[in-house]
Amino acid sequence: MAYIAGVGNTRYGKVEGSSTLSLASEAAHLAMADAGLGVKDIDGVLTGYSTTLPHIMLATVIAERMGIRPVYAHAMQAGGATGVAMVMLAKLLVDSGQCRAVLALAGENRASGQSRDQSIQTLAQAGHSDFEVPYGATIPAYYGLLAARYMHQFGVTGADLAELAVLMRRHAGTHPDAHLRTPVTLDDVMASKPIALPLRLLDCCPVSDGGVAVVVTREPTGAARVRIRGAGQAHLHQHISCMRDWADCGAAQAAGRAFAEAGMTTKDVDYLAVYDSFTITLAMLLEETGFAPRGGAGAMARDGRFGVAGDLPLNTHGGLLSFGHCGVGGGLAHLVEAQRQLAGKAGARQVKKATTAFIHGDGGVMSSHVSMLLERM
Amino acid sequence: MSATPTTFPAGDDIARAWWNGVADGRIGYQVCADCGAVQFYPRSHCTACGSARCETRASKGAGAIFSITVVHRPPSEALRAHAPYAIALVDLDEGFRMMAHADPGCAIGDRVTAAFIPFGDRVVPRFARA
Ligand SMILES: [Zn+2]
């Protein structure tokens, strides 16, 4: 069995004077303290990539800085899905007996460590360098193409998508570490400036500094007995021009594998942690994984179903759209919040019933999918 | 248009050859000589059967808009003068899909044909209503 024994995060937003290593190690110390473990107890280290510190051996750099001498360590790259992918590998490492306690951590000073243009150009490289990037494409442009087609095909409106942005901002307002906490209305979202139409500024997540860490152990280490029940992946394409079926981008396949391993169905889930780089990302993933009917995610948000008091609370930390996006740590923050909800440690955000959680990370342009199911023992 | 080889950075000879074709007003695509599969973007092997015998053909440049976005926030200062510009996924009649520019007024489902216009460091295909 694999447990999420401890979690930690730094404040998100602009953290002046921070670096990839300072943010990741601060979060790691918080996660180890939460798990009741010290550096001597950690025998596995997994990290993601950092655009502001593109080192060839990031995991051992971080391990050395923290004084950890792991028996297994390396960095991983699956875009925004990297966070959940790291925790899935950590599960495999403890399940197989390779490790007893794996530290999965990520940090990046993405807001303060580079210019906006640098950030936009770096991220655009998720597109094909020869057959997409030369057209002046950006990450919002790839998702703008997804949004236009998805809205056309499934009858989703701009107002449906805006509901999700309003909801994420409302949730972030209750989390002291969130990047964007000022409430926004439906009109604010729909009147915000155009970025890559149909997507507008408030349909897009911000660029943030931040660090997140998780400790995965073979045995529970304290009161927080949150277990990983299943995980699964799917990778059907990298580039949007090679994505064939807008109704099957790989999310359902990844979720199906996780549900099969866990022996569960969507009906057994009572908390959702779903990747939301853009409002369209969240709508597509909720609908393809079966938690909302096609074209129905916005209406469910409007009806309060995804709120803290709803029957399917979703991203109660505010998601990428408002808690913030610092790269790999952005996707890992969803899992941190899910663990806190299941451990009963979500404070003012605590939902009534949280025994099981579904987590989904997406990298690239709906390219890499990793799903996971957690359960409180 | 000129047949001068492109000078912009491109990943390999296959990509450079494709963009040189565009500079001459030609959209290349590949057909597998062994299994007949049509593929885009161009590469050294057929992704359907693994054959290395991929023949390059020139598209007639006619198709339909699959999706379209209008970019108001370009990735670099150099492209700011072009904004807003539209990026589309276009389904060509020969059976392949590609990214290209399009007239911002185009909509999903519109029949379009390709023209070739300067953009950034090169000439790019840009589709307009047929
Ligand atoms: Zn073939």
The model's pLDDT over A42-92, given as tens digits with 9 standing for 90+, comes to: 999 999 999 999 999 999 999 999 999 999 999 999 999 999 999 999 999
Q: How far is Cα B111 from Cα A357, in angstroms, rounded to an integer? A: 45
Interval between CA A252 and ligand 1 midpoint (Å): 29
- What's residue B5's pLDDT? 54
Inter-chain CB proximity B120 and A149 less than 8 Å: no
Nearest to B100 among A135, A149, A198 (CB): A135
How sure is the predictor about A352, in pLDDT bands with cuts at 50, 70 and 90?
very high
How sure is the predictor about B4, in pLDDT bands with cuts at 50, 70 and 90?
low
In chain B, the residue whose alpha carbon lies closest to the alpha carbon of A142 is B69
Substitution target in B68, B73, B77 with the highest count of A β-carbons within 10 Å is B73
- What's residue B101's pLDDT? 98
The pLDDT of residue A203 is above 80: yes
Substitution target in B71, B82, B92 with the highest count of A β-carbons within 10 Å is B71
Nearest to B99 among A146, A195, A241 (CB): A241
Residues 80-139 of A with CB under 8 A from B: 117, 120-121, 124, 128-132, 134-138
CA–CA distances in Å: residue A160 to residues A119, A301, A335, B33:
28, 8, 25, 47
In chain A, the residue whose alpha carbon lies closest to the alpha carbon of B65 is A149
In chain B, the residue whose alpha carbon lies closest to the alpha carbon of A146 is B67
- What's residue B1's pLDDT? 42
Q: Which residues of A touch B100 (CB under 8 A)?
A: 135
Tell me the pTM.
0.96
Residues 332-351 of A with CB under 8 A from B: none
Inter-chain CB proximity B70 and A152 less than 8 Å: no
And the tokens for A293? 């009917």
Inter-chain CB proximity B75 and A138 less than 8 Å: yes
In chain A, the residue whose alpha carbon lies closest to the alpha carbon of B80 is A136
The model's pLDDT over A212-257, given as tens digits with 9 standing for 90+, comes to: 999 999 999 987 899 999 999 999 999 999 999 999 999 999 999 9
The model's pLDDT over A133-190, given as tens digits with 9 standing for 90+, comes to: 999 999 999 999 999 999 999 999 999 999 999 999 999 999 999 999 999 999 999 9
Residue type, A163: E
The model's pLDDT over B9-66, given as tens digits with 9 standing for 90+, comes to: 778 999 999 999 999 999 999 999 999 999 999 999 999 999 999 999 999 999 999 9
